Structure 1
Amino acid sequence: MINIQPYESPEYFVLILGLLLPIIIGLFYGKRLVNYETLFSLVFLVLTFGGDKWQQGVALIGYVLFELLVIFSYSKYRSKQNQTSVFVAAVLLAIAPLVVVKLTPLFSTNSSIIGFLGISYLTFKTVQMVMEMRDGAIKEFEPVLFVRFLLFFPTISSGPIDRFRRFKKDYQTAPDREKYLCMIDKAVKYLFLGFLYKFILGYFFGKILLPIVSHAALAHKMAFFHTGLSWPLVEYMYTYSMYLFFDFAGYSLFAIAISYLMGIESPMNFNQPFKSHNVKDFWNRWHMSLSFWFRDYVFMRFTFFLMKHKLIKNKLRISQVAYLANFLIMGFWHGVTWYYVLYGAFHAVAIIINDYWLRFKKTHNVPHNRWTEGLAIFTTFNVVCFSFLIFSGFLNTLWFK
């Protein structure tokens, strides 16, 4: 059996679009073919996690059964005494497999046997379920629908991260014909834009230009140590930033396009992030489903915890500590290496500085016009690109190898 990587080859698109035809026809006539959609997802799960990746497939099955048990148990015991303890235990159990996968590289050169493609995004969905059940936003646990949500194939490997209630609303009804035709129109647009981003621009920046500038930066390694500046390193910074955006944004557009063809309006992941006016604005535009997930389930809840227990009295300090916790967790999620952690800390500090600047602007007569707006966009762009240089891990190669 051969393996396929989602959205990586022409054969993949021919296969997925061909098998989507019954779903598209059914939705066009106002009917959701639930049984066929289940078979469709199973086929692609087997093609992705079967063959020489069968261990990932086994890990995926074990993971889903484990998370089902966690959420089912929480749904049964959440109304008992010690509700907070039960809630905390459920969250910790839900994230435990991901924590093991992320920490394994610290102790072994081999990858974790319980790891598989997309475990992070499935964990985000699971934790979301537990927290919204705690809040009362989700009244009852629906195991079959939860599994469909968890294993929704177009977004399983790298998002976007959907919300259960939004997914449920789409999944339990078929869009009317006019709306579905609009969704098809958007899907076609996203497919072509995704091809432009991932296979043309992403390929150019990542496969052609990046190796050239990487080699040049390493060749000028000593110049960087002597002067603190290396123009090839600056070129690498911008090139990597463009590659990161076009590759990931292209992938996200593919996932959203296939979702739309299946009658599911998965959330957008990018909204012209390099037009951001400041770092906070950037996180409202970059990898939005992840950013908003961290905002809702880490930042806001940690802020509420600090306020409820009066651990910090100053509201400004509360937000600053919450930003730091939020982005450090995000950094650790990417990987337990110094450059991922520094990347998270860098963005926390950048947002804190940005908050000070916004408060300063409110109390002082700072001019606002197209020139200052252009300067803000230019500054934000360069701050973000520098953070991506940290994120790339290239400085680790430059300094320690």
Structure 2
Amino acid sequence: MLFNSFQFILLFLPITLFIFHTTARINQRVAFILLTLASLLFYSFDNAYYAALLALSIAVNFILGEAIRSRKDDAKTIHNILFIVALLMNLLLLGYFKYTNFFTYNINELLKTHISTSKIDLPPGISFYTFVQIAYIVDAYKGKIKNGSFAGYSLFVSFFPHLIAGPIIHINDMMPQFYNYKISSKTQTYIAAGISIFTIGLAKKVLVADLLAEKANQAYALIGAGHTLSTLDAWIGSLSYTLQIYYDFSGYSDMAIGLAYMFGIKFPINFNSPYKATSIIDFWRRWHITLSQFLRDYIYIPLGGNKAGATGRYRNLMLTMLLGGLWHGAGWNFVLWGGIHGSLLVCAHMFRAHTNSHQLRLPRWTPLITLPLTFFCVHMAWIPFRAEDLYTSYSMATSLFTNHGDTAEFTYVTLRTVLMVLLATVLLPNTQQLFPSDINSDHKDYPIKSALLTWSSSKPHAFAFGLLLTACLFSLTSPSTFIYFRF
């Protein structure tokens, strides 16, 4: 079931909200169980097999996690074996569904073998709920999980706002909020704020990302079919995807946070204006923040982090980004994308180390250069990320700088639209900046102080968001999936 569908917005969400808040007044444990069942229903909407697989994964991980957590120091060997078994189980499950055909194809190409392959459908969100459970297993191994119940753990993993595409959260961050849940005067405010944040995310997806997707898909389809794009076509098509993925994932992140608010839960900010970044290091502190933290904590640091000297640090950075690229998709184009970002991060850290060692102070106007330069690098890296294969990536990249034709498939009106969206992306406040600190703990003050731009549960704002939600609903002719759903 998609967040941007009539079934979800008009049926599933209001019914689930009503049942949860009504039941929570009477019996909190029953409310948890009903919300878990609703989340499994949400996940099984297209295929009940996926929900059965998720339920099995939850049960096995909880049993192993409890076994790991309960072991004492005198059973260290068993403790370590259980930990390794739990990690391998999760990685093998993810590897089977996501990488079997990729590795089989490459083995056949490399060794000239003829190992047969069959189509393996990737369960939605398996990468995310696997990472969430790996984090739980590691926390249990380190003794960070003090107590738990199967009902609580099941809700933690399956809670539908984060199930499909994050954010990647820890059980100690989410479950205490559920356990401390109480109906209060703030409940209505949180529900209203949640609906507003959800509406902003829905508008980003439906009114911006899906519009840009038409142009991006057209451009990449033409190249995939062997056509050569003009320079204007290439820039419009590639920029359309760069902005499409921004608003697609930013919209999903807002919708997930808004949905969680409706149930009294605060998710961590997962998206913080990454196209305002002034370095590639800054970009990865803003784009898919919880994934960046996961890669840092569970890959980069275990590899040695920055403790192995400069050379070891750069090697670990590159390996982490290559694995991060492969996590996004089983294809060499994703590995290339990860390699590009790994190389950019290495260069950025080398430059930072050089300036620090020589105590160099950069001029105040440096962001005027570094911001567009960072955006250009990120934009170029999105090309292999979007392309179906390496040849399409090469063709699109070369078309940007080689004028192959005089006639553009796209109009200058389309170019103006793309540039206006880009300008708005850089200049306007992001969603969390619109909400006061008592609603959003990650609120950052924005230079523009305006009651009009600061959300409140007032009638004028309710009317404005009602109009925006109505416009989104009228645009839901054929709901499209979110880009990160396929990862």
Please give the TM-score of this superposition, normalised by the length of structure 2: 0.71
Identity %, equivalent residues = 21
Shift in Å, 1:264: 1.0
CA shift in 2, pair 1:163/1:209, >3 Å: same
Opposite residue 167 of structure 2, the aligned amino acid is P
* Pairing 1:11–2:20 present: no
Shift in Å, 1:399: 6.6
* Pairing 1:214–2:225 present: no
* Pairing 1:90–2:86 present: yes
The CA deviation string for residues 207-262 of structure 1, in whole angstroms up to 9 with x for no partner, is: x32233335555885579xxxxx443333221111111111211221111111110
The CA deviation string for residues 286-314 of structure 1, in whole angstroms up to 9 with x for no partner, is: 1111111212222222226x85xxxx4xx
Paired residue for 2:168, among 161, 168, 175? 161
Report which stretch shifted further, 15-24 or 328-337.
15-24
- The count of corresponding residues between Structure 1 and Structure 2 is 378
CA shift in 2, pair 1:182/1:358, >3 Å: farther
Shift in Å, 1:179: 4.5
Which structure ranks higher in relative contact order (CA pairs < 8 Å, sequence separation ≥ 6)?
Answer: 2
SS in 1 for 2:57: helix
Aligned mates of 1:182, 1:316 — CA distance in 2:
49
Q: Is the 8 A contact 2:43 2:50 kept in 1?
A: no
* Pairing 1:81–2:71 present: no
CA shift in 2, pair 1:216/1:123, >3 Å: closer
Q: Is the 8 A contact 2:61 2:86 kept in 1?
A: no
The CA deviation string for residues 14-34 of structure 1, in whole angstroms up to 9 with x for no partner, is: 11332113445677x7x7744
* Pairing 1:361–2:361 present: no
Structure 1: 5+ residue stretches without partners: 225-229
Aligned mates of 2:85, 2:138 — CA distance in 1:
12
CA shift in 2, pair 1:78/1:130, >3 Å: farther
* Residue aligning to 1:111: 120
Opposite residue 204 of structure 2, the aligned amino acid is Y
* Pairing 1:122–2:129 present: yes
Shift in Å, 1:338: 0.4
Shift in Å, 1:400: 9.6
Opposite residue 21 of structure 1, the aligned amino acid is F
* Residue aligning to 2:242: 241
CA shift in 2, pair 1:374/1:119, >3 Å: same
SS in 2 for 1:7: coil
1:158-237 matched pairs, under 5 angstroms: 158-174=165-181, 177=184, 179-206=186-213, 208-215=214-221, 217=223, 221-222=227-228, 230-237=231-238
Paired residue for 2:337, among 335, 343, 350? 343
Opposite residue 40 of structure 2, the aligned amino acid is L
Task: Give the structure with the higher percent helix.
Answer: 1
Paired residue for 1:390, among 384, 389, 408? 384
SS in 2 for 1:302: coil
Opposite residue 345 of structure 2, the aligned amino acid is I
CA shift in 2, pair 1:236/1:222, >3 Å: closer
Structure 2: 5+ residue stretches without partners: 105-116, 396-487
Aligned mates of 1:218, 1:334 — CA distance in 2:
21
1:179-328 matched pairs, under 5 angstroms: 179-206=186-213, 208-215=214-221, 217=223, 221-222=227-228, 230-303=231-304, 307=307, 312=308, 315-328=309-322
Aligned mates of 2:63, 2:22 — CA distance in 1:
36
Please give the TM-score of this superposition, normalised by the length of structure 1: 0.84
Q: Is the 8 A contact 1:332 1:340 kept in 2?
A: yes
Report which stretch shifted further, 211-220 or 230-239.
211-220
Aligned mates of 1:124, 1:166 — CA distance in 2:
15
SS in 2 for 1:81: helix
SS in 2 for 1:260: helix
Paired residue for 2:368, among 363, 374, 379? 374
* Pairing 1:39–2:46 present: no
Q: Is the 8 A contact 1:194 1:254 kept in 2?
A: yes
Opposite residue 110 of structure 1, the aligned amino acid is K
Report which stretch shifted further, 129-138 or 273-282.
129-138
Q: Is the 8 A contact 2:132 2:157 kept in 1?
A: yes
Q: Is the 8 A contact 1:161 1:289 kept in 2?
A: yes
Opposite residue 271 of structure 2, the aligned amino acid is F
Aligned mates of 1:240, 1:223 — CA distance in 2:
15
Shift in Å, 1:395: 4.9
CA shift in 2, pair 1:58/1:142, >3 Å: closer
Q: Is the 8 A contact 2:203 2:251 kept in 1?
A: yes
